[in-house]
């Protein structure tokens, strides 16, 4: 059994473990009930941690978790008015003010 990562809270730890299990990796959340005594022990000890039961799954689990933690990358768009490139979250061109073109 190997510790994969600590999560900021139990909800996220459970989500990670569920996602790993859905991918066929046996995972458990520990430190489940420690948050009630946070303050008496170092904070990182109180955080729930996800553990992978089978060492052989560890690398795959680590990659899956990495994907889970990084937001999906949306494609850039290019303004039809001036050719400026924009990250996906912008709805209008900051350069010429044109609305985003599909």
Of 35, 53, 81, 100, which lies in the binding site for Zn ion, with binding defined by CB under 5 A? 81
CB closer to Zn ion out of 30 and 81 = 81
Instruction: Determine the Cα–Cα distance for residues 1 and 75; give it in Å rounded to an integer.
Output: 38
- Picking from 63, 55, 10, 65, the residue whose alpha carbon sits closest to that of residue 33 is 10
Q: In what order do the strands lie in the sheet with 2-6?
A: 2-6, 49-52, 27-30
Stretch that binds Zn ion, among 9-17, 28-36, 46-54, 93-101 (CB under 5 A): 93-101
79 binding Zn ion? (CB under 5 A): yes
Shortest approach of Zn ion to residue 100 CB, angstroms?
A: 10
């Amino acid at each position: 059994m190997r510790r994969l990562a600590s999560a900021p809270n139990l909800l996220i730890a459970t989500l990670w473990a569920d996602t790993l299990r859905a991918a066929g990796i046996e995972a458990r959340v520990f430190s489940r009930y420690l948050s009630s005594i946070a303050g008496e022990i170092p904070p990182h000890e109180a955080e729930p941690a996800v553990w992978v039961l089978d060492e052989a799954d560890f690398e795959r689990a680590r990659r899956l978790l990495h994907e889970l933690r990084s937001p999906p990358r949306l494609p850039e768009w290019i303004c039809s008015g001036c050719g400026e490139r924009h990250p996906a979250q912008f709805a209008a061109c900051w350069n010429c003010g044109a609305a985003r073109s599909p």
